[in-house]
Structure 1
Amino acid sequence: MHLNHDPASPPAAEIGFDDFLRVDIRVGRIVSAEAFPEARKPAYKLTIDFGPGVGVRRSSAQICARYALDDLPGRLVAAVINFPPRQIGKFMSEVLTVGFADAEGEVVLFAPDRDVPLGARLF
């Protein structure tokens, strides 16, 4: 599946509300961020705390163009937590951290604009 990052593209095919509910998107706080030089595309290894219900999970995120490693710990992010883990090189990415492409096509993280409990679900 190829994602279209063009903001002028038409909407995706219509889905039912039950389809939306199957995608479990939660908020977490980045605990640590590390360089990931082995990745084919520039990426960081993120460790994210989703609170007691979900726990701590890891993610590979292609966000190097817009974020410095030192600026990431403590930051809230949103991630899909119910995709199967994905092997990326020697790293197992357990969640998909989500964002939007900016005008240059670089990823900008998606996060709430106020503090919310870790593990809160997007609805």
Structure 2
Amino acid sequence: MDTPAETIAFDDFLKVDIRVGTIVVAEPFPEARKPALRLTIDFGPEIGRKRSSAQITEHYTPDMLVGRQVAAVVNFPPRQIGPMISEVLTLGFPDADGKVVLIAPTQGVPDGGRLF
């Protein structure tokens, strides 16, 4: 396990904009260097739909993701991942083998809600 990060001010935490969205498209991303899925996530009317490349193929298939809510950082700069631009960072925790398990609310919440 990683050691805890250094202490930060609460204002630093507020700079990271983590929102909830619903996956509306999930598809294989064979062009990625590591196995990944290409996601389109709806963050509601204020933010809209954003794309993400997520290395989550160990636990998830495209058909099990559509309609699922996930958390993502929405204010990082876009990043080129193979032939696509990833606009958000979909968040998860490592399982015992280091494979990604997505984080999500335990109840449905409005898309675009900010983590606090």
> Scaled by the length of structure 1, what TM-score is found?
0.93
1:57 corresponds, among 38, 50, 53, to 50
SS in 2 for 1:116: coil
1:10: Cα distance to partner? Answer: 2.7
Q: 1:90 & 1:68 partners in 2: Cα distance?
A: 21
Partner AA of 1:105 in structure 2: G
Q: 2:64 & 2:105 partners in 1: Cα distance?
A: 17
The number of residue pairs the alignment matches comes to 116
1:68: Cα distance to partner? Answer: 1.2
Q: 1:69 & 1:50 partners in 2: Cα distance?
A: 19
Q: 1:17 & 1:83 partners in 2: Cα distance?
A: 18
Q: 1:64 & 1:95 partners in 2: Cα distance?
A: 18
Poorly superposed stretches of 4+, deviation over 3 Å: none
Structure 2 spans left out of the alignment, 5+ residues: none
Q: 1:40 & 1:103 partners in 2: Cα distance?
A: 23
Q: Does 1:102 align with 2:110?
A: no
2:70 alignment counterpart: 77
Q: Does 1:19 align with 2:30?
A: no
2:30 alignment counterpart: 37
Partner AA of 1:45 in structure 2: R
Q: 1:45 & 1:114 partners in 2: Cα distance?
A: 24
Higher helix proportion: 2
Structure 1 spans left out of the alignment, 5+ residues: 1-5
1:15: Cα distance to partner? Answer: 0.2
Q: 2:65 & 2:35 partners in 1: Cα distance?
A: 16
1:111 alignment counterpart: 104
Partner AA of 2:25 in structure 1: S
